Amino acid sequence: MENKLFGKPVIHQEAMRKRIKALGATIAKDYEGKDLILIGVLKGAFAFFADLARAIPIPLQVDFLVVSRLRDKRRKDGGTVSITSDLSTEIKGRDVLIVEDIVDSGYTLTFLKKELLKKNPNSLKCCTLLNKPERRKIQVTVDYICFEIPDRYVVGYGLDYKDKYRNLPYIASLENVVAE
Ligand code: IMP
Ligand code: MG
């Protein structure tokens, strides 16, 4: 059922469920016999993370970190990204899969990869719910993508605008949400 308070879905719950199930099976195949640890990037990835983890039918561990990005248009790198809460698990020698809500400019993911590589994992890949390739400012490899979307600000299913709308059970365009 659509939530009348929060605009129309641009990606429906059922479409996400199907896509995440398929992606979970792919990831399970790719990581069979490996020492997989999923790392959720909070806050945005919390909903996707919970559904993705349950769609991967092999043994794995989970951990989380919190990043914040201060945007500064005057800086060439678009601002500074920092880890405000770090992992509680050792990842050295392990097969790490970063779980992101959305890759936009690419600065956050580039920073995260650089930081996590310092901890010497056996492998490091990234999975994102949404990808906005038109917005990319820095080239970064994204290994698993659920949905590609155009250059439009979206909320819901973990994604926020001013820290709200994360509890929407689907992805909606911000224009639809604030217009209502
Ligand atoms: P990047 O460093 O520009 O790739 O930014 C990635 C982060 O910006 C994401 O993890 C989100 O928190 C935020 N972000 C980018 N685009 C959107 C959007 O359309 N809706 C909500 N958050 C977004
Ligand atoms: Mg994020």
Q: pLDDT tens track of the chain, all 180 residues?
A: 555 556 678 999 999 999 999 999 999 999 999 999 999 999 999 999 999 999 999 999 999 999 988 776 666 666 789 999 999 999 999 999 999 999 999 999 999 999 999 999 999 999 999 999 999 999 999 999 999 999 999 999 999 999 999 999 999 998 877 655
Pick the CATH number of 8-173 from 3.40.50.720, 3.30.230.70, 3.40.50.2000, 3.40.50.2020: 3.40.50.2020
pTM value? 0.93
Question: Does any ligand 1 atom lie closer than 6 A to the CB of residue 168?
Answer: no
Q: Which residues surround ligand 2, an ion (CB under 5 A)?
A: 44, 101
Q: Is 153 in the pocket of ligand 1 (CB under 6 A)?
A: yes
DSSP, res 44: T
**Sequence ranges of the domains in the chain:** 8-173
**What is the rounded distance in angstroms from the CA atom of residue 177 to the CA atom of residue 130?**
18
Of the residues 102, 127, 139, 154, which should be mutated to test ligand 1's pocket, given the most ligand atoms within 8 Å of the CB? 102
Is beta strand 144-148 parallel, antiparallel or unpaired with respect to 123-131? parallel
Give the strand order in the sheet containing 154-155.
9-11, 171-173, 154-155
